[in-house]
Chain A
Amino acid sequence: MSKMATFKNGLITNNPVFVQVLGMCPALATTTNSTNALGMGLASTSVLIMSNLMISLIKNLVPTKIRIPVYIVVIASFVTMIDLLMHGFTYELWKTLGLFIPLIVVNCMIMGRAEAFASKNTPFDSIIDALGTGLGFTGALVLLGSVRELFGNGSIFGFEIWGEALNMHAFILPPGAFITLGLLLAMFNYIGIRKEKKAKEGAKK
């Protein structure tokens, strides 16, 4: 696969949230507004880039049988680093994301990429794959967070769009997370189905 295709595969074709439905816990919990969503997305992306790089570097040294525990330790070390860095430099964000920073360890997206991609490919390709998947994850989170913030609070990234005129507080509460993500998924499914139909009609002609 070419570099561009690897990148696009993680970003769009196999988007971790909307297509593979991985990493749901942070996607639902930290998207009460766009800023938190962006913070969570970037934190996960940086862990993913570093763990993918590390795992593809050590892939030949690790016996196959114990690879999963080794990957977990590698991921956990990078998560600890991010946790400490965020505590030091972005304290406010660290406080709002709270529990979900340590929980990056059990994000199945990161383990999934380590197992499915980094353990078989060169370090450079693994970084590209991590960038694509990570940015796909960040994009999905920011989209979800923006929709929730827009309808729940009338703003995006804290900038007022229509103020308090249309506030539906439910979007910021837990049920709003499930329902918004459900509707977004349905929308992407709809686009997918229409594309397929068009492709079929095109083939007939």
Chain B
Amino acid sequence: MRLLLIFLSATLVNNFILSRFLGICPFLGVSKKLDSATGMSLAVIFVMTMAGIISWILNIALVALGIEFLRIIVFILVIASLVQFVEFFVKKTSPALYESLGIYLPLITTNCAVFGVALINIQTNYNIIETIVNSFASALGFGLAMILFASIREKIELSDVPAPFKGTALALITAGLLSMAFMGFSGMVTI
């Protein structure tokens, strides 16, 4: 039951993009086309889940050695190398997937959602199973917001908007409305 609550809370109530403001850069940058948004979301789901698990395990070692203050440096290095590793792995095992994700993989290193989820797991004292569920659900929420937003944005591209609002300005306002819609979930689940 608790796992289900964590899952719902991470995907809908505390959506990473729309209520926690993590991962805004790819959200605004790669959401012009639905295809690329889907590719980015899939890559992020994978990397975020992995990063959450690995950094949780490493944190045990850091605490055991009494060097928790090195957490930021260690985590960012883990994420950067993980992204590299995933890139090699996907390239070897499935060239087709690599083709479609290709450019978005290196971009994930600077995605604060990945770093954010690793820190949130540690700060809320989740155990390993809760960490897996929370990382996966957060990433899923990221993907959900990303795909919704990309579909809206494809429509906006076709419409005639006042010149000052073109581009990022209108994208941000659209995101605000989407975020308002997601506010409807708030209070639904409390952990």
- Please list the residues of chain A having a beta carbon within 8 angstroms of any beta carbon in chain B: 21-22, 24-25, 28-29, 69, 72-73, 76-77, 79-80, 83-84, 99, 102-103, 105-108, 111, 170, 173-179, 181-183, 185-187, 189-190, 193
Contact = CB atoms under 8 A, between A and B. Distances in A.
B19 A185 contact: no
Interface string B7-33: 000000000001111111100100000
A80 B72 CA distance: 7
Given A25-B112, A178-B172, A76 B22 contact: no
A25 B72 contact: no
A7 B112 CA distance: 28
A183 B173 contact: yes
A12 to B, nearest CB: 18
B169 to A, nearest CB: 4
Given A24-B28, A72-B80, A80-B70, A102 B115 contact: yes
Contacts of B168: 21, 182, 185
B170 interface: yes
Contacts of A79: 72
Contacts of A77: 73
A137 to B, nearest CB: 15
Contacts of B72: 76, 79-80, 83, 102, 105
The 9 closest A-B pairs by CB, nearest first: A178-B176, A182-B172, A29-B21, A179-B176, A182-B173, A190-B164, A24-B24, A189-B164, A185-B169
A115 B4 CA distance: 43
Contact of B164 (A108, A111, A174, A193): A193
Interface of B: 18-25, 28, 69-73, 76-77, 80, 109-112, 115-116, 119-120, 123, 163-166, 168-173, 175-177, 179-180, 183
Given A21-B168, A25-B23, A185-B169, A175 B115 contact: no
A92 B172 CA distance: 30
Q: Is the interface of B mostly helix, strand, loop or mixed?
A: helix
Contacts of A189: 163-166, 169
A191 B172 CA distance: 18
Contacts of B73: 73, 76-77, 80
29 contacts: A25-B24, A28-B21, A29-B20, A69-B80, A76-B76, A76-B77, A80-B69, A80-B73, A99-B119, A99-B123, A103-B22, A103-B119, A105-B76, A105-B115, A106-B76, A106-B109, A174-B21, A175-B176, A175-B179, A177-B176, A178-B175, A178-B176, A178-B179, A182-B168, A182-B171, A182-B173, A186-B164, A189-B165, A190-B164
Q: Which of B23, B24, B116 has the most CB of A within 10 A?
A: B24
A107 B73 CA distance: 14
Given A28-B24, A174-B21, A102 B173 contact: no
Nearest to B74: A76
B115 A21 contact: no
A175 B123 CA distance: 25
